[in-house]
Amino acid sequence: MNDRQSRPMIEIEGLHKYFGALHVLQGIDLSVAAGEVVCIIGPSGSGKSTLLRCINHLEVAQQGRIRIDGEIAYRDEVGGVFRAHSNRAVSAVRAQVGMVFQHFNLFPHLTIIGNLMEAPVHVLRRSRAEARRRGMELLAQVGLAEKADSYPEELSGGQQQRAAIARALAMDPKAMMFDEATSALDPELIAEVLAVMRDLAGRGMTMLVVTHEMNFARQVASRVIFMDHGRIVEQGNPAAIFASPREARTQDFLRTVLER
């Protein structure tokens, strides 16, 4: 669509993932360009979350190739399987891609600003002062500046998720992944999190978003992907996917979720 989308940030080729006999990802090919916002929709159990977790190596795919910003991640150039890299090398790749979880997963024993400072100080070796300055900046960006010294459990679900987004941003990631970031929230708290995500998209962040929020996908995504049974069934710009889906499975799914 525009020139900043030329460089691929996340590239996936032929990704297969099994849980025992269950073939969860059946050959995923996907490329997310810099600045692109890709929303993945689909029924539960279709492998959407597993795909994100494989990109961050929280799950280990059995076959395929993942590149983050052009670099092959989590395996040797020559090796056929995902095993070769050390703990430290895997961690270094992960640090480049931010992840936001359904259940926030803030660290309950640290204050909000402590949550934001933890990885920049101990992984990126930034000074505490620098990490705090950047952390406060990000908390202001997500509207939580006054909650810096609170503990996570003192915050509402929506505030916790906004803090979790800020925590991921504190690592200055090249891309952000959202794994059903609003699914655990009460309906009245969903909007504030989506607003933060929308703002982030507007700032040009590369985003890969697994979501059930069809309006968000329709309005914010540069591309929508429909997944079912471990495969990408259909993809295209949101107008095309929502207005005139080609595949019968996409039509069925959209009819079900949009009729609610």
CB atoms within 10 A of CB 44: 9
The 194-233 site mask, x for binding another protein (CB under 8 A), equals ----------------------------------------
Name the segment binding another protein (CB under 8 A); options: 11-19, 71-79, 102-110, 211-219. Answer: 102-110
Q: What is the largest CA-CA distance in the chain?
A: 55
- In whole angstroms, how close is the CB of 97 to another protein at the nearest point? 8
Q: How far apart are CA 216 and CA 128, in angstroms?
A: 36
Strand 231-236 and strand 22-33: pairing? unpaired
State yes or no: residue 105 binds another protein (CB under 8 A). yes
Q: Which is nearer to another protein, 13 or 118 (CB)?
A: 118
- Using CA atoms in the order 122, 107, 90, 45, what is the torsion angle rounded to 10 degrees? -170
The whole-angstrom distance between residue 98's C-alpha and the CA centroid of its chain comes to 7
| 246 closest CA partner among 237, 238, 257, 234 | 234
Within residues 149-188, the interface with another protein by CB under 8 A covers 149-154, 164, 167-168, 171
Name the segment binding another protein (CB under 8 A); options: 146-154, 185-193, 201-209, 217-225. Answer: 146-154
| 116 closest CA partner among 136, 98, 99, 96 | 136
Q: How far apart are CA 37 and CA 34, in angstroms?
A: 9
Q: Which is nearer to another protein, 56 or 206 (CB)?
A: 56
According to CB under 8 A, which one of 82, 101, 178, 216 is a site residue for another protein?
101
Strand 63-68 and strand 71-72: pairing? antiparallel
Name the segment binding another protein (CB under 8 A); options: 2-10, 13-21, 35-43, 100-108. Answer: 100-108
Name the segment binding another protein (CB under 8 A); options: 26-34, 117-125, 192-200, 231-239. Answer: 117-125
Within residues 63-82, the interface with another protein by CB under 8 A covers none
- In whole angstroms, how close is the CB of 212 to another protein at the nearest point? 19
According to CB under 8 A, which one of 72, 84, 92, 136 is a site residue for another protein?
92
